[in-house]
Amino acid sequence: MRIAVFRAEGKTHIGVVDEDRRTIAPFEISEEQATRGVCALFEYGQRLPQTSKPLAIDLVQLVAPIPRPSRNIFCVGKNYVEHAREFAGSGFDSGAAEGVIPDAPIVFTKVPESVVAAGEPIMIDPQVSTAIDYEAELGVIVGKEGRSIPPERALEYVWGYTIINDVTARDIQARHKQWLLGKSLDTFCPMGPWVSTADELDLRDTSIRCWVNGELRQNANTKDLIFGVAELISAISRGITLRAGDVIATGTPSGVGIGFVPPRYLCAGDQVRIEIGGIGVLENPVCLIPTNKLSAAAQR
């Protein structure tokens, strides 16, 4: 089942997506519940609310599945072998001396305020960064609380999957020798277009592809992950209580901008399209922050 958060007639809703018919059937829940995103459905378990008359997808505005996560998004670095190699050779990997392939998951975070929906722009502020990169990733949405979860039970804690673009300011990443600041700029976490429930994906064989302006840049499969979803959940939850609604971005495959010589960073006017099998397509334009907003920010 695919479930979307959207706005129609000035109100926020959650509904079931029918991709073939290009419709969304809204659940019969309050708008207050719907503003929480798909987290509002966790309490219903397997018996989801009834739905009402379907609406055409083209007539609604999609919202990120979790519009504002309750805490930072967990992210994983260097989790595909070929990407680990391209990152090690890029000059941006401060830990390259310790080995190309990590022997344990590398975990960092992005702030919740970086989240935007499918179709919303990735905003470039040239006064802050001129080296903006894309990273197509499978996103995991945790559906129940757990701590020190064993790998063999970890997938029981997954409610669903979505697509994340872990947009990164490489120059900030290099300057600060860590990842949070360069990953957390406003609009740097496109998420969506919706969530596929956990039963929809075969993690042994799920394709991940990314195009920039129609050019295929990333083309991989979840079978190529160094640390699978179960291993990541187990590692992150070791001593840390995972909560329902937590989001984990599982890492990006090779083909990112810094993997090219010279690097191929995003520019205003670009279009980034990410497709993950069993979920759908997350597409976002790249735009320049208007000059008047840059001037106003500088004056504050």
280 Rama class: left (phi>0) / alpha (psi -120 to 50) / beta: left
Asked whether the predicted pLDDT for residue 295 surpasses 70, the reply is no
- Averaged pLDDT for residues 69-83: 93
Q: Which residue has the higher pLDDT, 99 or 129?
A: 129
**Pairing mode, strands 136-142 and 247-249:** antiparallel
Residue ranges, CATH 3.90.850.10, the chain: 73-299
Residues in the chain: 300
Distance CA 66, CA 163 (A): 12
pLDDT tens digits for range 147-191: 999 999 999 999 999 999 999 999 999 998 888 999 999 999 999
Q: Is the pLDDT of residue 53 over 70?
A: yes
Q: What residue ranges of the chain are covered by domains with CATH 2.30.30?
A: 2-63
238, 223 contact by CB (below 8 A) = no
Plot region of 63 (φ>0 → left; ψ -120 to 50 → alpha; else → beta): beta
CB atoms within 10 A of CB 200: 15
Give me the phi and psi of 56, to 5 degrees please.
-70, 130
Tokens 């300057």, residue located: 175
For 2-63, which CATH class? mainly beta
**CB neighbours of residue 178 within 10 Å:** 12
Q: How confident is the model at residue 26 (pLDDT cuts 50, 70, 90)?
A: very high
pLDDT value of position 240: 98
Q: What is the pTM of this model?
A: 0.93
Mean pLDDT of the chain: 93
Q: Does domain 73-299 have CATH number 3.90.850.10?
A: yes
Rounded distance, CA 224 to CA 209, Å?
13
Instruction: Give me 41's structure tokens.
Output: 């459905």
What's the rounded mean pLDDT across residues 86-105?
Answer: 69
Q: 126-154 pLDDT, tens per residue?
A: 999 999 999 999 999 999 999 999 999 99
- Percent share of the chain, pLDDT over 70: 92
